[in-house]
Amino acid sequence: MAIDGKSDDDIRAILGATRTIALVGASANADRPSNRVLAFLLSRGFTVHPVNPGLAGKTIHGATVYGSLADVPGPIDLVDIFRASDAAGGVVDEALALPARPKAVWMQLGVVDTAAAARAEAEGVKVVMDRCPAIEIPRLGL
């Protein structure tokens, strides 16, 4: 079992309940994994809101970039974190402070913060750690 304790069925349920994603740490650089995952998620029909304060107001793959999670219009189903592990807790706390909490928080490959995960899970928000949806979606046949 993975570090996050989630089974394949758990991952299927999380992704199946997701329509809108905020991708924190989005990059305009096509060589960066966050850029490629953003493109992949958009190609799979998800509404994806890139979040990066340094790129706010610009677009990546046609999607407007927001400066923070609080700036994203409307509810977010899943927050996908492309930040270092030591920054993930702040992103989780920002997500938990939203008026409409996301259903899930997803920490990308190499991103692990068990304390932040515990805070989110205690608030009813599911947490995936050290995984990538662009790997999990094809692997699970979704």
CATH of the domain at 87: 3.40.50.720
> In which band, very low, low, confident or very high, does the pLDDT at 30 lie, cut at 50, 70 and 90?
very high
- Domain presence at residue 2: no
Predicted TM-score of the model (pTM):
0.95
- Domain presence at residue 77: yes
Domain coverage including residue 105: 8-139
- Domain presence at residue 113: yes
> In which band, very low, low, confident or very high, does the pLDDT at 54 lie, cut at 50, 70 and 90?
very high
Q: How many domains does the chain have?
A: 1
CA atoms of 34 and 26, how far apart (whole Å): 5
- Positive or negative, the CA dihedral 33, 28, 48, 44 is negative
> In which band, very low, low, confident or very high, does the pLDDT at 3 lie, cut at 50, 70 and 90?
confident
- Domain presence at residue 3: no
- Domain presence at residue 16: yes
What's the pLDDT tens digit per position in 94-114? 999 999 999 999 999 999 999
- Domain presence at residue 83: yes
The answer, yes or no, to whether residue 1 has pLDDT greater than 70, is: no
Mean model confidence pLDDT for the chain: 96
- Domain presence at residue 106: yes
pLDDT number for residue 4: 86
- Domain presence at residue 1: no
pLDDT (mean) for 32-58: 98
Q: 55 near 7, Cβ under 8 Å?
A: no
pLDDT number for residue 111: 96
Q: Which residue has the tokens 């790129």?
A: 55
pLDDT (mean) for 54-66: 98
